[in-house]
Amino acid sequence: MSETPENLRYAQTHEWAKLEDGNLVRVGITDFAQSELGDIVFIGLPDVGRVVKQGEQLAVVESVKTASDLFSPVGGSVVAVNEAVQDEPELVNDGAYQTWLFAIKADNPAELEQLLDAEAYKNLIEE
């Protein structure tokens, strides 16, 4: 069974979100998602400055098996991307919760409350 940190929020589309100071939300994919995808070979990240709505598609993860769209857990502006994963996408396989993909300055951090907590996410992936 994969780990599911309690301090994160989870989208039903298997992204995790962590609220940091200044309404900054770091986003990655869950351990469950990376294990389902298999060996990740490419990550297409959003452009810094892009404005997104909650639930909008903004990135893609490609593995040896398939490609999967990533969706924004909150609305706001993309303020940073993790350049390291573009050169080494396997970092996500090595540590899904230690490897963020992009950061969004949230317009409304309360949108995180619409996401799943760790317990609800565990229930979702066990179905």
Is residue 126 domain-resident?
A: no
**Domain that residue 101 falls in:** 9-109
Is residue 24 domain-resident?
A: yes
- CATH number of the domain residue 41 falls in: 2.40.50.100
Is residue 117 domain-resident?
A: no
Residue type at position 78 = V
Is residue 123 domain-resident?
A: no
- Total domains present in the chain: 1
Is residue 119 domain-resident?
A: no
Cα(33)–Cα(36) distance, integer angstroms: 5
Would you write out the chain's pLDDT as a tens digit for each of its 127 residues? 468 999 999 999 999 999 999 999 999 999 999 999 999 999 999 999 999 999 999 999 999 999 999 999 999 999 999 999 999 999 999 999 999 999 999 999 999 999 999 999 999 999 8
Q: What token pair was written down for 3?
A: 């780990």
Is residue 124 domain-resident?
A: no
